Amino acid sequence: MSTEPDAVVRAYIDAHRAAFLDDLAEWLRIPSVSADPERAGDVARSAEWLAAELSATGFPVAEVWPTEGLPAVYAEWPSADPGAPTVLVYGHHDVQPAARADGWDTEPFEPVVRDGRMYGRGAADDKGQVFFHTLGVRAHLAATGRDTPAVNLKLLIEGEEESGSPHFAALLRERADRLACDAVIVSDTGMWDERTPTVCTGMRGLTDCQIDLYGPDQDIHSGSFGGAVPNPATEAARLAAALHDEDRRVTVPGFYDGVIELTDRERALFAELPFDEAAWLRAAKSHALLGEAGYRTLERVWARPTAEVNGVVGGYTGPGGKTIVPSSAQLKLSFRLVAGQDPAAVERAVRAWVAGRLPDGIRHEITFWGATRPCLTPLDHPALQSVVRSMGRAFQSKILFTREGGSGPAADLQDVLEVPVLFLGISVPSDGWHSVNEKVELDLLLKGVETAAYLWGDLGEHWHR
Amino acid sequence: MSTEPDAVVRAYIDAHRAAFLDDLAEWLRIPSVSADPERAGDVARSAEWLAAELSATGFPVAEVWPTEGLPAVYAEWPSADPGAPTVLVYGHHDVQPAARADGWDTEPFEPVVRDGRMYGRGAADDKGQVFFHTLGVRAHLAATGRDTPAVNLKLLIEGEEESGSPHFAALLRERADRLACDAVIVSDTGMWDERTPTVCTGMRGLTDCQIDLYGPDQDIHSGSFGGAVPNPATEAARLAAALHDEDRRVTVPGFYDGVIELTDRERALFAELPFDEAAWLRAAKSHALLGEAGYRTLERVWARPTAEVNGVVGGYTGPGGKTIVPSSAQLKLSFRLVAGQDPAAVERAVRAWVAGRLPDGIRHEITFWGATRPCLTPLDHPALQSVVRSMGRAFQSKILFTREGGSGPAADLQDVLEVPVLFLGISVPSDGWHSVNEKVELDLLLKGVETAAYLWGDLGEHWHR
């Protein structure tokens, strides 16, 4: 019976579940926030911790790879099978900033298990989704009686994903020999919801920046001077407001150049998903839909490029009022990109647009953080079918397809390693990525373990280059 | 000779100058910041200090007057002359917020004298300009050999001017009997520059507010949700940007209702002042002019109503980037008003405008701080001529006319006490009101003392009701 090996996998996972969760919690306690220079030591500590854990899992190779920024972790477990395909799992061990004062119910770096969920920064994005591969490969070996995986298994877990992966492409190019593979499996996305397992077929790209505007050399009295000199807070607002027209289309000239539009078939496939507007809004913690005219919500977040104001600050922000013209203001903007867009071209377009919109007397500086290219997976790749079959066994359910609105360095992997990129994720929209009270659903996390346990055998059996 | 009493006044001021400056510095050390609830005790201490100082000056009455907010100081020195006019001097003892970290060269509440200037928060706005009346009235008595002033002299020094004087009108109404007078002299404005003594004939009004916008219940991932839900930082920017049209006219419907336009004669009088655009920009610490189309700079800041963004904050403002849709954003706006505008009507207009511009899914709250009415002095009042003559004797120069772009409770005084309001100020644009490194020019401060010393005798001689 085909369920026999699956029963073995499940029994193995059950037996090791408690230790697996304890280990994950230990990792989550390391505040590996890549955006905060003061946390660089914690990111390094997270890398060391993971390399040790992968060694303990059985990977014959487990190394910390330094970069010009923060370190990545690489591990390798060759297959004894001649002709086995080589798969590279990608994830990241850095996390978004988090502080209790942001509104967390518990300390973000003191993970707690409550109601079948583990809460903590990185629980879903991405430590949890990296970590299910440790128990997954062990379950694969235990259920199949193998000493080595049925694929040549490589893991590359970077440390700067939440900062735009500024050194990731360089790392890939430097280490291309060791990273050579037949496919990449990105373990940093999600699925439709708790009841609808899906495979993601693409990710949006990203480029983001900070715009600093300078007006008066210091804050000045709004009564004595206001109304007669340019105000950088006003100009920041005018820039941010001008990003979108009344149809909420991005107005930056050239922004949409090259965008691959959705086909009617893709729009129809998206429409098959059980989209519940009220539930989606609850997951978004939002109270209304608003976006580019002419597109549905899923199309807007998966397949349309966007511009977002991530932060703004300028002038007096303390209690009460202060009647000044502020000396400076700052915008943080991010742009999600879709297949066909080039982040470098978008950066140039934004720089030109900003420079052309500011009045005399307002000086500006723009800093772009690292850019991430958009990515689309070919639907007809045999490895994708292995992912779908393995998820189907784990979830005992039909697997549908989605895209991912977020961004990862999937396109770098695709471009540098010249292989297809697949996605395997068990996170759900309610997991609170980049937000307060981030969590992972333990049932889904263990389905991730189980999928990984089936996947290597399925790939070894069905896919030969 | 008419210069004889003036020489006596000058000698008296010279003899008492050092102690006068020491006493002012002592007062400036009290951080009487009315906008900061944690400084309420310091504002009270400032009031007690001033009342004691006025007693020591010789005022037979010197009292701290509590309000529902922060305390005012009242002092009275009746004239022995039958038929003497009664003059009420207005000023304030509270100050703007200030912190060394804002960019001050020295501690804002540790005054220092350097290069003929005294630096410290409140040096010019308004403690210095209140304080010149202490030595001024003593010089008046010394030079004239009088035991009492030639006018019935009253002082009302409030403690909430920098917070929009929320309880001042109520205080005036409650104490109207004791405050009864023939004219008010506001000692809280400035003159053209160090070399051009002027008398101010009007002040702009003010109403200001904080607008809080709420979108998602918490910060959410801009990749998963961005582009499909409203972003409160974007909406805050769209509000702030929409305040002005391309001609930098305020777009809020009804905002200009009732505005008394400048006459050709007023525009011509303003044009007589030695306006130096480069020098004005230096004083404004600004690098270009920008304002309402069709008006000159002085007209814009003195006689035109304006809308200003005093502060904005929302989303992530730390180091690096954070790809979120923020849960909230906040704007602090102020509106300068001119004669003919009603602050309450402007508040209603702004509230309606804001409410009508926000998309579904963005909740908002608006808090208006206290409003200050605009004010214009009648040019033909005999007391104005006394002010002009007294300044002319002190400065030994022709006195020109200005208006004040800033705001004070002059209109409340005018409305409640039903008397004309005059202005006497020696501050200059470079004094750094509401900014860092606030200072007062000591030469001008002592000309203020001297003007006050002449003014009471001139009024007593030339003005009888």
In 3D space, the residue among A152, A173, A162 whose CA is nearest the CA of residue A89 turns out to be A152
Q: Which parts of chain B sit beneath pLDDT 70?
A: 1-3, 378, 465
User: Phi and psi for B336 in degrees, rounded to 5?
Assistant: -85, 135
Lateral strand order in the sheet of A183-186 = A61-65, A72-77, A152-158, A86-92, A183-186, A421-423
Cα within 13 Å of Cα(B205), Cβ side: 26
The label of the residue with tokens 């539930």 reads A279
Report which of A92, A98, A101, A130 is spatially closest to residue A111, judged by C-alpha positions.
Answer: A98
Residues in contact with B109: Cβ distance below 8 Å, sequence separation at least 6, in sequence order = B28, B29, B30, B31, B98, B120, B121
**Phi/psi of residue A207, each to 5°?**
-140, 140
Q: State the DSSP code for A230.
A: -
pLDDT at B265: 78
A282 by Cβ neighbours in 10 Å (0-12 / 13-18 / 19+) ranks as middle
Asked if the C-beta of B359 comes within 8 angstroms of chain A's C-beta atoms, the answer is yes
The DSSP bridge pattern shows strands A324-325 and A220-221 to be antiparallel
| Peptide bond between residue A276 and the one before it cis (omega within 30 degrees of 0) | no
Contact status of A435 with chain B (Cβ, < 8 Å)? yes
* Residues A248, B435: Cα–Cα separation, whole Å: 38
Q: How far from B86 is each of B55, B145, B180, B302, CA to CA, in Å?
A: 19, 20, 8, 29
Choose the mutation target among A222, A239, A248 for the interface with B, i.e. most B CBs under 10 Å.
Answer: A222
Helix (H, G, I), strand (E, B) or coil at B173: helix
- What is the pLDDT at residue A407? 80
Asked if residues A161 and A409 have their Cβ atoms less than 8 Å apart, the reply is yes
Q: What is the pLDDT along chain A (465 residues), one digit of tens a residue?
A: 345 779 999 999 999 999 999 999 999 999 999 999 999 999 999 999 999 999 999 999 999 999 999 999 999 999 999 999 999 999 999 999 999 999 999 999 999 999 999 999 999 999 999 999 999 999 999 999 999 999 999 999 999 999 988 999 899 999 999 999 999 999 998 898 899 899 998 889 999 999 999 999 999 999 989 999 999 999 999 999 999 999 999 999 999 999 989 888 788 888 889 999 998 999 899 999 999 999 999 999 999 999 999 999 999 999 999 999 999 999 999 999 998 999 999 999 999 999 999 999 999 999 998 788 888 876 778 888 899 999 999 999 988 889 989 887 777 888 888 888 899 999 998 899 999 999 999 999 999 999 999 999 999 998 876
Cβ-contact A197, A395 below 8 angstroms: yes
**Cβ-Cβ contacts under 8 Å for B23 (sequence gap 6 or more):** B53, B131, B134
Task: Kindly compute the dihedral angle of the four CA atoms of residues B54, B56, B60, B62, in this order, to the nearest 10 degrees.
Answer: 40
Topology, domain A3-202+375-462: Aminopeptidase (3.40.630)
Could you tell me which chain A residue has the CA closest to the CA of B289?
A: A229
Q: Which CATH architecture has domain B3-203+375-462?
A: 3-Layer(aba) Sandwich (3.40)
Residue of B nearest to A190 (CA): B224
CA distance A419 to B76: 89
Q: What is the pLDDT of residue A378?
A: 67
Which pLDDT belongs to residue B1? 38
Q: How big is the CA angle at A295 (ends A293 and A299), to the nearest 5 degrees? A: 140
Taking 3-state DSSP, the helix, strand and coil percentages for chain B, each rounded to the nearest 5, stand at 40, 20, 40
Task: With beta carbons under 8 A apart, name residues in chain A contacting B209.
Answer: 321
- A263 secondary structure, DSSP code: P
- Please indicate if any CB of chain A lies within 8 Å of the CB of B256: no
Contact A227 B281 (CB under 8 A): no
Instruction: Specify whether the CB–CB gap between A231 and B309 falls below 8 A.
Output: yes
Contact yes or no for B22/B148 (Cβ under 8 A): no
Eight-class DSSP state of B171: H
Instruction: Pick from B203, B323, B436 the residue to mutate for testing the A interface (most A CBs within 10 Å).
Output: B323
Place of tokens 């509401």: B434
Identify all chain B residues contacting A323, using CB atoms and an 8 Å cutoff: 206, 208, 308, 310, 334, 407, 434
The residue length of chain B stands at 465
What span, in angstroms and rounded, lies between the C-alpha atoms of A84 and A383? 13
Write the CATH number of the domain with boundaries A205-259+305-368: 3.30.70.360
Q: Which of residues 399-428 of A touch B (CB under 8 A)?
A: 404-407
A220 at B interface, C-beta within 8 A: yes
Query: How close is the nearest chain B Cα to the Cα of A361, in Å?
Result: 4
Contact across the interface for B223 and A406, Cβ inside 8 Å = yes
B222 touches chain A (CB under 8 A): yes
Nearest to B322 among A97, A241, A315 (CB): A97
Give me B79's structure tokens: 């004239």
Report the alpha-carbon distance of residue A386 to residue B418 in Å, rounded.
88
The two tokens of residue B403 are 């208006």
Among candidates A81, A55, A187, A62, which has minimal Cα distance to A144? A81
**Domain boundary assignment for chain B:** 3-203+375-462, 205-259+305-368
Sequence-separated (6 or more) residues with CB below 8 Å from residue A205: A336, A337, A338, A341, A343, A371, A372, A373, A374, A375, A407, A411
Rounded to whole angstroms, the Cα distance separating A27 from A403 reads: 28
